[in-house]
A and B are shown apart, each in its own frame.
Chain A
Amino acid sequence: MFSILATEAFEGSFTTEANVILENVWLIPLLPAISFFVILFFGKRMPKGGAEVGIAAIGLAFVLAILANVAWIDHRDNFDGPTQSALTGLIEDDHAEDDHGEDENALGTTLTVTDTTAGADGVDEVVDVDLAFTEAGEGEEAHAAIAVLKGTDWLTNGGIAFSVGTLLDGPSVMMLFVVTMISLLVHIYSTDYVAGDRRYTHYFAFLSLFSASMLIFVLSRSTLQALVAWELVGVCSFALIGHWWEEKPNSDAALKAFLTNRVGDVGLLIGIIILFFASGGHFDYITINEMALAGEINQTALTWAAISLTAAVMSKSGQFVLHTWLPDAMAGPTPVSALIHAATLVTAGVFLIGRLYPVFFIGYNIEGSSINGLSLIGAITVVGAGLVAFVQDDIKKVLAYSTVSQLGYMVMALGVGAWTAAMFHLFTHAFFKAGLFLGSGSVAHAVHSFNMKTDMGGLRKFMPTTHKTFIICSVALAGVFPTAGFWSKDEILVGTGGFGVGSGSANGSYDLMLVMGLVGAALTGAYMTRAIYLTFYGEFRGHGEPHESGKRITVPLIILSVFAAGAGLINLPPGFITGSLEPWQERFFHFVEPAAAYFPAISHSVPSYWLAVVASAVGLAGPAVAYWYYFIKVDGLAKQTGEKLTELPNGLVANNKFAAAGHALLKNKYYLDHLYNDVIVASVKGPIARGAIWFNKVVLDGFVDNAGKGSVRTGKFIYDSIDQGLIEGTVNGSGKLSSQSGQGLRRMQTGKVQQYAALLFAAATVLAGIFIVFI
């Protein structure tokens, strides 16, 4: 099948000359990095404890990120400068027409339309030349989206250059916006939420460091640079999860997050090494991608690299079975959960796949399969995590499992070849999940607990703003038309191409993924309905008098809910709107998806109305059942009996053995923690500990003892012979010599003029004798 964005169509990958903003995006991570050090060293002495520095830095970075986005939008459509390819070097304008007769239509079109700047005439020409472009219905698509590559060689060793710098293209410019915006809102929110905390300054310092690391990660131009940033965000995550480390569960959770991520990091390291050797010594994203697409990297190497990198994604982006750290990470302050463990850090894995997409695309043979490792992991995560979210009593844990589930959607979308859908879901998810987390933080701020069953209920009366924003974000998460979640989730479902949806133009027919995605959609709505009921409806079960949070908490909530409702409008599917509004469709796709030589030839599905209807129906069926259970049955019974109920006293779980077993399975989170702690760790721990003791006692102790004795002997020998003999002798001898020579010379200093004169003449005589004899 001919692909819409054939690789051959684009020879260029990047340029080094562009708009001044695009060339200098390194300033964006620099600002929070500076802020980190300023807060660390001077924060305590500042009137607001360093928070003002952090907010100013991230605010400025946000402004720069918006400018970068504007500049990128202009660059995407209007850039006409010289472009380069990692494989073929600088590309001349007439290159394609000269010696690439076969590809002439593709790149030739690019050049023709470049001249007419995508006017009406340009569209006609495209239709004539290339059928694929007419299928996409996008004449202006002929412009290549050339990435802006800047940087310098950090060091060169053995002829291999380790370059650092910025690679700016659609996905990274999108991430710049998301990271800086959520980070800014979280900074503002935190000034209220952690006010009076004993490590207030430390908290803001790490928020700054996290923002800087994440921005470095999304701007990285090489795998090695990305690895550094990847580890930096891991450290920040560790420090912030364990922010209240005085309590054991918090420091345990921080350690768990760190150690679980280590497992995946090994995969990342191995993947980078495989790619390095397979590509003949390259770390640069663009070079690796272009080589993978050109078939210059062995298919087997790509597969192993993709599998190794998948391990990294599984740990960082919380995919089944390495997701267990993410729910525990909710031990950290809630704004941190919103920023790091929902909106940004956990999407790093998804972003990594997006960056090295050719490796995965070819390695997993995504085009033309109906199942592969990546999409299977994603699909299992979608449903598996969605089910566990049902049995959580902690509101943040519900959201955490929801995050895992949504990340599963993104990974699944990447696994089925729906790259743009994954990135779009990342984009929309960041807003509504950050909104939900901050909303749960607002609730917890009021009731001083996260337990929905014992301390919440009926909060809509006390906290109207939080309630409304929470509902909007939940609706967006559940994917109800026309909120942001609907558009992104629908795009993923269409992208699976299961059962022939999307007119069969997808990369493969992933039937299973479509089913799992639909089930996940139903689950999402249902567990959110449960969480909303337990939190905001029924009778208040906690203590005291809850009240609405302050402006610094509610305003970010309102902003995020506006985005949660409206962000989907920037990627309306083709055909949804017509007429003069038509250029507004698929804007996200147009500006974010790379259309250049370093991006694979993925096909794009045509939207399907009946799938949208089915998905909406299924997505609403879940909440409907949950609504019936909680809002009608439980609420009705509670009103009838006057008790504060959170579930039916004799429901399915109490009466049915099978349901009880399932409930226990979910309650225990599939026993994964037991598997890790009791089976794997315990079985490894015993023998390893015994072996370690033996090694310690016999090998290490013996070595150390002998080394100690040996060094004592050596020291004594050195002291006696060298120190006492040679060095002391030299020192004393030179002292004596100068003393004696001084005594000798002293006698000559008589002060008698005639004696001096005698010496003078004697010396002159000796000199004269020497002259006579030798000259």
Chain B
Amino acid sequence: MILNQFLLLAAVLFSLGVYGVLTRRNGVLVLMSVELILNAVNINLVAFGAFQDNVQGDVFAVFVIAVAAAEVGVGLAMVLLMYRNRKSIDFSEVDMMRG
């Protein structure tokens, strides 16, 4: 089995996800980009699990999927609230986290 292809795929997906998180203004698209990053990691985990012939990678991947589901739930709720308050889901307009 060749590990490199999976790792390259994961690296590409990860970079696409990072690009999306940093450049997209739409909150939903940012969340989708985060999903890309998480799934790139999932590919890595499953690939390493298969490479070393054990199930620990698969188990971690399942965990990450569950956590990602929860994260998206919370993230979408926040985007929804943002939309209700400001009639906009543009992240570039939001600077409420300024200390």
Contacts and interface: CB of A to CB of B under 8 A. Distances in A.
Interface of A: 749-754, 756-758, 761
A45 to B, nearest CB: 62
Contacts of B23: 754
B92 interface: yes
A753 B34 CA distance: 13
Contact of B97 (A751, A758, A761): A751
B41 interface: no
Nearest to A761: B18
Contact of A757 (B21, B92, B96, B98): B21
Contacts of A751: 94-99
B22 A757 contact: yes
A756 B97 CA distance: 10
Most A Cβ at <10 Å: residue of B30, B95, B99: B95
Contact of A750 (B21, B22, B30, B98): B98
Contacts, number: 30
Contacts of B98: 749-751
Contacts of A761: 18, 22
A239 B30 CA distance: 94
Interface residues of B, number: 13
Contacts of B91: 752-754
Given A757-B21, A758-B22, A761-B22, A749 B99 contact: yes
A759 to B, nearest CB: 10
B51 to A, nearest CB: 20
Interface string B19-38: 00111000000100000000
**What are the 6 closest A-B residue pairs judged by CB atoms, nearest first?**
A751-B98, A751-B95, A751-B97, A758-B22, A749-B99, A752-B95
B85 to A, nearest CB: 16
Nearest to B21: A757
Contact of B21 (A749, A752, A754): A754
Given A754-B23, A756-B97, 16 more contacts: A749-B98, A749-B99, A751-B94, A751-B95, A751-B96, A752-B92, A752-B94, A752-B97, A753-B91, A753-B94, A753-B97, A754-B91, A757-B21, A757-B22, A758-B22, A761-B22
A771 to B, nearest CB: 15
B46 to A, nearest CB: 21
A749 B95 CA distance: 10
A217 to B, nearest CB: 76
Given A761-B18, A761-B22, A754 B92 contact: yes
A753 B95 CA distance: 7
5 contacts: A751-B98, A752-B91, A752-B94, A752-B95, A753-B97
Which applies to chain A's interface (DSSP): helix, strand, loop or mixed?
Answer: helix
B95 A754 contact: no
Contacts of B97: 751-753, 756
Interface of B: 18, 21-23, 30, 91-92, 94-99
A168 to B, nearest CB: 79
A749 B98 CA distance: 6
Nearest to A746: B99
A772 to B, nearest CB: 13
A573 B48 CA distance: 117
Nearest to B34: A757
A72 to B, nearest CB: 84
Contacts of B99: 749, 751
Contacts of A756: 97
A355 B85 CA distance: 102
Contacts of B18: 761
A761 B96 CA distance: 21
A121 B30 CA distance: 120
A383 B11 CA distance: 123
Contacts of A758: 22
A754 B95 CA distance: 10
Nearest to B27: A753
A303 B29 CA distance: 112
Contacts of A750: 95, 98
A234 to B, nearest CB: 75
B10 to A, nearest CB: 14
Nearest to A764: B18
A757 B92 CA distance: 12
Nearest to B30: A754
Contacts of B30: 754
B68 to A, nearest CB: 17
A756 B30 CA distance: 14
Nearest to B99: A749
A351 B96 CA distance: 93
Nearest to B25: A754
Contacts of A752: 91-92, 94-95, 97
A259 B36 CA distance: 102
Most B Cβ at <10 Å: residue of A750, A752, A758, A761: A752
Contacts of A754: 21-23, 30, 91-92
Nearest to B93: A752
Contacts of A749: 98-99
B34 to A, nearest CB: 9
Nearest to B94: A753
B88 to A, nearest CB: 14
A754 B92 CA distance: 8
Contacts of B92: 752, 754
B90 to A, nearest CB: 11
A750 B99 CA distance: 8
A751 B98 CA distance: 4
A522 B98 CA distance: 112
A757 B21 CA distance: 8
Most B Cβ at <10 Å: residue of A751, A754, A756: A754
B76 to A, nearest CB: 15
Contacts of A753: 91, 94, 97
Contacts of B95: 750-752
B21 to A, nearest CB: 6
A757 B25 CA distance: 13
A749 B96 CA distance: 11
A55 to B, nearest CB: 75
A758 B91 CA distance: 14
Nearest to B37: A761
A763 to B, nearest CB: 13
A749 B92 CA distance: 14
A761 B23 CA distance: 13
Nearest to B97: A751
A756 B22 CA distance: 9
A121 B43 CA distance: 116
Nearest to B24: A754
B44 to A, nearest CB: 14
Nearest to B96: A751
A752 B92 CA distance: 7
B11 to A, nearest CB: 12
A750 B91 CA distance: 13
Nearest to B23: A754
A664 B99 CA distance: 104
A758 B20 CA distance: 11
A741 to B, nearest CB: 16
B24 to A, nearest CB: 8
A757 B99 CA distance: 16
A756 B91 CA distance: 12
A95 B60 CA distance: 90
A407 B94 CA distance: 106
